[in-house]
Structure 1
């Protein structure tokens, strides 16, 4: 029976594998000169962090780590890299009326958000009763406050569509 390994030894080996994955991904995210390798290293490091959350027993946070950081942010970075213009091309000059309209729209949006913040009555949700555990937060986010996830997905969708339209427009007129 000496060839059988205990569950504690397997847990230690799994922990060190996840730590190695995290640090290896961090090294790959920092040192290569190719930006795609950097993003893949970031994905590897963030997946390792999700593994560390799993090891600590925080399944919800591990899934949110994978969903938000690996799934959304890293994929958005890859889209930005793929759709950005090459560095050797000349950057077109900005149109002053477009910049003024963008600044005006941003100021109006900022004023509206500040107005909503100051005019809202911010009271804690009654069902929380001071319990801020991960279970309670996860339950509230996936039941009562599920609109937040829908809005985030719409913002990401609009950003991706905008990047595709912008890249297609600039590539038509730059070639």
Structure 2
């Protein structure tokens, strides 16, 4: 019967969600945050990615810090994740006070397909050269060759990621 299969799937999902929340309480400096599990996973991926390229960010103390999620000295990193579930490939607006932006694309297996990095200086150059919004809606098209990060930032493809 389909109802039993659905109920089992729901219970498995809720158990996994509970486990991630428990990990957040146990390791708040690595996977803490609010109840947005994909957001927590994205921030964890971002931590590991930034560490792999020589940075040493820390999670911010408050789970709903506006404008950035990770901090290292003066570097305030905003992390956004778009999964393959998101058919429109859109997220929320990118709002300051970030000065480094990471956009993570998670594929069907929920593993990073691409990670885009954009600094505030690169964003300012893009604004100077184009009639683009200072607080754009985050979209997967940003990672394309004509997109904000594709043109002005750096894109790391799946085979370049060691996380």
- Common topology (TM > 0.5): no
TM normalised by structure 2 equals: 0.33
TM normalised by structure 1 equals: 0.31
